[in-house]
């Protein structure tokens, strides 16, 4: 994973080391959309993440394990064709850090089943821990964007992006700022401060050094373009 401004970018490679594809968070302040690129850097799909909050009694297991005790949090993901914005796949409503879920096409037919391997915690911050998911693709009878094995890679990339985002997910379902965002915001704050300082210094220099000469120039320009003239009142014109 690397950063471009605030946007985390995940690159995928094959065993030989060649680039397979990449995915990147599309938003800056509201980072609820991810874009998936092929090995040539062309955008292929966009993934939208929606977070819902249902008031009421919380799930006891989620409250104890993830401290999500304020009602129930649901997440849902939608995959869109980047070229025309057509919805091509979606998930059902998922509980916070759900261990297994299905990816369906827009008609509700199964595309793949995704299952967490092991009992690892997405937000425990343990380094070096093996965090794996298994993606089992269903046999599809009708042609579609993910019916061919060579076209199913975006599903695996979506699962990876979900796992990366879960590492920064709060009990509310929303994301805490990632290291990429912190770096990006720091750069923007520094650049904004420098720009404001430069504008302020330029304004002070203009008021102190440039305002007088500028005023004199404008007066001379006015005299050349619109010279002063004496007009005789009309009652004296024929006298």
- Please tell me the predicted confidence (pLDDT) of residue 14: 82
The string of pLDDT tens digits covering residues 121-157 is 888 877 766 889 999 999 888 888 898 998 999 999 9
Which candidate, 188, 237, 179, 209, places its Cα nearest to that of 8? 179
Mean pLDDT, rounded, for 9-18: 84
Residues 169 and 175 sit within 8 Å (Cβ to Cβ): yes
The string of pLDDT tens digits covering residues 82-118 is 999 999 999 999 999 999 999 999 889 999 999 999 8
pLDDT at 12 over 70: yes
Q: Look at 82 and 180; give whichever has higher pLDDT.
A: 82
- Please tell me the predicted confidence (pLDDT) of residue 135: 96
216 pLDDT band (50/70/90 cuts)? confident
The string of pLDDT tens digits covering residues 220-231 is 888 888 777 666
Which candidate, 133, 184, 217, 179, places its Cα nearest to that of 28? 184
Residues 135 and 156 sit within 8 Å (Cβ to Cβ): yes
Among 146-155, 160-169, 177-186, 204-213, where is mean pLDDT lowest? 177-186
If 0-12 CB within 10 Å is exposed, 13-18 middle and 19+ buried, where does residue 23 land? buried
pLDDT at 180 over 80: no
Six-digit token pair at 165?
């985002």
178 pLDDT band (50/70/90 cuts)? low
For the chain, the average pLDDT equals: 85
Which candidate, 119, 112, 149, 151, places its Cα nearest to that of 134? 112
The string of pLDDT tens digits covering residues 45-87 is 999 999 999 988 888 999 998 999 999 999 999 999 999 999 9
- Please tell me the predicted confidence (pLDDT) of residue 15: 83
């Amino acid at each position: 994973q690397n950063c471009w401004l605030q946007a985390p970018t995940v690159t995928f490679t094959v065993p030989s080391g060649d680039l397979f594809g990449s995915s990147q968070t599309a938003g800056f302040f509201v980072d609820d959309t991810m874009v998936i690129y092929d090995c040539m850097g062309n955008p292929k799909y966009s993934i939208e993440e929606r977070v819902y909050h249902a008031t009421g009694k919380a799930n006891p297991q989620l409250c104890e394990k993830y401290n999500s005790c304020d009602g129930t949090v649901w997440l849902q993901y939608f995959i869109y064709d980047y070229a025309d914005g057509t919805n091509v796949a979606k998930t059902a409503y998922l509980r916070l850090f759900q261990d297994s879920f299905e990816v369906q096409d827009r008609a509700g037919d199964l595309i793949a089943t995704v299952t967490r391997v092991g009992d690892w915690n997405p937000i425990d911050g343990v380094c070096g821990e093996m965090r794996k998911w298994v993606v089992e693709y269903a046999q599809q009878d009708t042609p579609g964007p993910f019916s061919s094995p060579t076209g199913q890679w975006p599903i695996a990339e979506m699962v990876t992006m979900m796992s990366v985002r879960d590492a920064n997910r709060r009990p509310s379902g929303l994301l805490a700022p990632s290291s990429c965002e912190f770096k990006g915001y720091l750069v923007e704050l520094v650049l904004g401060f420098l720009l404001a300082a430069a504008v302020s210094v330029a304004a002070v220099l203009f008021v102190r050094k440039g305002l007088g000469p500028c005023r004199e120039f404008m007066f001379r320009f006015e005299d050349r373009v619109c010279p002063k003239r004496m007009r005789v009142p009309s009652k004296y014109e024929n006298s």
